[in-house]
Structure 1
C-alpha cells in the first residue's frame, strides 16, 4: 500500500493545511457550520465543489489557490529556505529576527524576580505589624 497521495486530492490537501495550522477537525467543522464527520468526509474526498472549497479556504484563512496548489515539498522548501536565510541574521536589520535568548528562560527569570519582590513586600508588612504591636503594648 502506497502512502504517496495523488497530487490532485483536494481533501488530503485540506487535511494537511488544517494540520499545519494546528486546527482540529472539530474546529473546522464549527467554522463551517457542519459536523466533524462531514469534515472527515470532505478530507477523504478527492474533489470538493467550488463553493464548499471557498468556505473551507476562508475558514482555514488561506486562498482557494493555496489549497489547490498545496504541496508538502513546497512547504518544506519554504521552511528550509526561511531557516537558512535566518542563520547569521543577528545584528542584521534585514527583517529576519532571530532570538539570541530562550524566551522561556526570560519568563522564569521574571517569575523568580516577582517571587523575591513578593517576599520582600511580605517581610515589610510583617515588620510593620510587629512595630505597630510594640506601639500598642507601650500604651
Structure 2
C-alpha cells in the first residue's frame, strides 16, 4: 500500500495562521490593500501566487516559507508539549504549593481577632467609667 501525500493547500495554511494570530479576514484585507472577499477566495485556493504570498506573509508577520511549510499537527504538538499555566484556571493549579504555612495564617488571624476584642473591652470599660 502506497502512502499518498495530501497536496499542500496554501489557502488553508494562510487561513489557519491568520486564525492562530487572531487576525480577521477584514484586517488582513486592509493590510494587503484588497477586499475581504479577495482574502476569502485566496484562503479557498489551493495555490497562491508568490507575489501575493509575500504580501500575506508580511501582513501576518511570518515568513513566506513559514506559510508554505506550516503544519497544523506540528504546531499542536509544540503547544501541547510546552504549555505551562501559571494561573489557577487550569487543573495544574492543584499542584500549586503555597509559599506560607496556612496554619500560621490561621494563628495570625486569631491573634488579630483577640486584639480587636481586647480593644472593644477596653473601650466599653472606658465608656462605663464615664
Change (3 A) 1:66 1:36: same
* Aligned residue number for residue 68 of structure 1: 68
Alpha carbons of structure 1 residues 52 and 13: separation in structure 2 relative to 1, 3 Å? same
Flag the structure with larger Rg: 2
Please report how far the alpha carbon of residue 99 of structure 1 lies from its aligned counterpart in structure 2 after TM superposition: 2.6
Q: Structure 2 vs 1, CA of residues 80 and 7 (structure 1 numbering), >3 Å: closer, same or farther?
A: farther
Residue number in structure 2 paired with 1:80 = 80
1:99 maps to 86
Unaligned runs of 5+ in 1: 1-5, 87-97, 103-139
**1:101 Cα deviation after fit:** 5.7
User: Which residue pairs with 1:9 in the alignment?
Assistant: 9
Give the whole-Å Cα distance in 2 for the aligned partners of 1:68 and 1:13: 8
Q: Give 3-state SS (helix, strand or coil) of 1:54's partner.
A: helix
In the superposition, the TM-score normalised over structure 1's length comes to: 0.56
**1:29 aligned residue:** 29
User: Residue 59 of structure 2 aligns with which residue?
Assistant: 59
Higher relative contact order (CA 8 A, sep 6+): 2
Q: In the TM superposition, what is the alpha-carbon distance from 1:100 to its structure 2 partner?
A: 5.1
How much has 1:72 moved relative to structure 2?
A: 1.1
Tell me the matched-pair count.
84
Distance 1:48 1:100, change over 3 A: closer
Structure 2 equivalent of residue 121 of structure 1: none
TM-score, reference length from structure 2:
0.60
RMSD: 1.5
What CA distance in whole angstroms lies between the structure 1 residues aligned with 2:25 and 2:39? 6
* 5+ residue gaps, structure 2: 1-5, 90-130
CA-CA distance at 1:64 after TM superposition: 0.7
